Structure 1
Amino acid sequence: MKKRITLSLLSTALLMGCISPSPMPLVGTDRDEKGCIPSAGYTWSELKQQCVQPFEIADIRLTDPENPPLAVYVILAEEQGKAEVFSANLPKNLILEAVKGGYAAKDKNLYLIKTQTGWELRKPTRS
């Protein structure tokens, strides 16, 4: 009797080992509407007109003023008079236009200002 139970349990354990687990999705198989792979850090750049990893090609890297553990990345296209801002706090990349002293969003809600010590992101002060 004990042999039968032991043999049954052993057979069950062996058969359970033959069941293949459901496959894990591979990193990089996800694509957005532009064909970029978000899981690999790629996002679409309007200025470059291609998928980029902002943290790899950014011309400017800043600490996110709204969330200091995060970074804000900026790609400059000086010949076009534009800058593209990549931030976790923005729903999508933001294109800034060249103005005196730096770049500004069309709605004037964000500025990228060149200072003596480097670049700064600024929002307009509300009175």
Structure 2
Amino acid sequence: MKNGWRVSMALIALVAACSSQQPAPAQSPMAQGADEDEFGCIGSAGYQWCARTNACERPWLLAEQEGFDNTKAGFDAYCD
């Protein structure tokens, strides 16, 4: 009878140890690339909407291609 009690206690301890919940891994508030704007441009990849080209553009590349200043003001003036 004593061995049965010991076995029962060991099983209870084992089940209790296995059933404890592990903390969830830390996650970033937003997955990469999930910052799509209303036009479908992904800001974290450097894209912004340009109405003039009717496309998502990387401002520094567009500035080099079209010859305007690589600044927010330059991009806005070209694209608006």
TM-score (norm 1): 0.36
Distance in 1, Cα, partners of 2:52 & 2:72: 13
Greater share of residues in strand: 1
Structure 1 residue aligned with 2:27: 23
State the Cα deviation string for residues 25-83 of structure 1 (Å, max 9, x = none). 22211111211111211101122110011112323364xxxxxxxx4279xxxxxxxxx
Greater share of residues in helix: 2
Structure 2 residue aligned with 1:37: 42
In the alignment, structure 1 segments of 5+ residues that lack a partner are: 1-10, 63-70, 75-84, 87-92, 97-127
1:48 equivalent in alignment to 2:31 = no
Structure 2 residue aligned with 1:90: none
* Contact map agreement 2:68 2:78 (CA 8 A) in 1: no
In the alignment, structure 2 segments of 5+ residues that lack a partner are: 1-16
Aligned residue pairs total 58
TM-score (norm 2): 0.52
1:94 equivalent in alignment to 2:80 = no
Q: Matches of residues 60-79 of structure 1 in structure 2 within 5 Å?
A: 60=67, 62=69, 71-72=70-71
Pick closer, same or farther for the CA change 1:57–1:49 going to 2, 3 Å.
Answer: same
Alignment RMSD (CA, Å): 3.0
SS at match of 2:71: strand
Higher RCO structure, 1 or 2 (CA under 8 Å, sep 6+): 2
Q: Percent identity over the alignment?
A: 29
Structure whose CA Rg is larger: 2
Distance in 2, Cα, partners of 1:37 & 1:51: 8
